[in-house]
Amino acid sequence: MKENKSAAHRIIVALDVDTRQQALSLVEGLPEGQVFKIGLRLFTAEGPSLLQDVARRGKKLFLDLKLHDIPNTVAGAVAMAARQGVAMMTLHASGGREMMLRAAEAAVEEAEASGVGRPLLLGVTVLTSLKDTELGEIGMPADAAGQVLRLAHLAQDAGMDGIVCSPQELAMVRAEFGEGFLVVTPGIRPLWAAAQDQKRIMTPAAALAGGADYLVIGRPIIAAPSPGEAFVKIRRELDGADADAHGKNGA
């Protein structure tokens, strides 16, 4: 949990690239990086053998496939991910209680059977890409915040370890759930990085202070002139923020 995590363990580097070669050269260029996110694009391109390649380099895997299907199918996919040694993965909370309960059971059972650590399961609530008009079109209340809380509570009840939420939802989610329910936050931008297409952003230190357990960071690291240096710079900012939070000097 958070208290035992060094800053480097809280940074999840998004491997948003197309090929195994690009992904592995990023992993190798980030010796301090501990957790790497593989999403739909790279997984579709390179498949599960890439998971093994990253794991073999001593790194933790965040498999971000945002699963949403019937309970049996999702449970099966979670079991296969657990077998590959995935540390964290995402599923849509809107897939419903039964889907999440079965996924949580499958994670425990397969981890025991394979002798690996159980993957942490994270619920995705409302995609931040959805505009209010689009929420209405798919039958959701235009009140995205209410829907986020509703789905986050359902996720917690159904055995999820936490949720993914945007920086603008962080304070609301933390206030509602307190510690003990993991919050993973993308949309992170250090002051020295360009915002790109992220609209509502937060600095790494602010997100940590706001209660995020893990920060998903892509382009500020992977598109930096030196990804290794960018990682270290962010890690140092987080170390400073941690020290500040404990009333010490921020060095």
Site residues (vs ligand C5P, CB under 6 A): 14, 16, 39, 128, 166, 186-187, 198, 216-220
- Closer to ligand C5P by CB, 67 or 216: give it: 216
Report, in Å, the least distance between residue 94 CB and ligand C5P.
14
Contact yes or no for 94/80 (Cβ under 8 A): no
Report, in Å, the least distance between residue 164 CB and ligand C5P.
6
Mapped onto helix, strand or coil, the DSSP state of residue 197 is coil
- Closer to ligand C5P by CB, 123 or 187: give it: 187
Bridge partners, 202 (sequence order): 188
- Closer to ligand C5P by CB, 79 or 188: give it: 188
Contact yes or no for 99/74 (Cβ under 8 A): yes
- Closer to ligand C5P by CB, 39 or 95: give it: 39
- Closer to ligand C5P by CB, 23 or 216: give it: 216
- Give the residue ranges of DSSP H helices in the chain: 7-10, 20-28, 40-46, 48-56, 71-83, 97-114, 132-137, 144-157, 167-177, 204-209, 219-222, 227-245
How many angstroms separate the CA atoms of 96 and 139, rounded?
15
Report, in Å, the least distance between residue 196 CB and ligand C5P.
6
Count of CB atoms within 10 A of residue 247's CB?
Answer: 6
- Closer to ligand C5P by CB, 14 or 30: give it: 14
Report, in Å, the least distance between residue 188 CB and ligand C5P.
6
Report, in Å, the least distance between residue 128 CB and ligand C5P.
4
How many angstroms separate the CA atoms of 102 and 95, rounded?
11
Provide the residue type at 87 as one letter: A
Q: Which residues are catalytic?
A: 66
* Closest chain position to ligand C5P (CB): 218
Contact yes or no for 173/183 (Cβ under 8 A): yes
Contact yes or no for 217/12 (Cβ under 8 A): yes
Provide the residue type at 175 as one letter: A
* % helix, strand, coil for the chain, step of 5: 50, 15, 35
Q: 215: part of which helix (H) or strand (E)?
A: strand 214-217
Report, in Å, the least distance between residue 162 CB and ligand C5P.
14
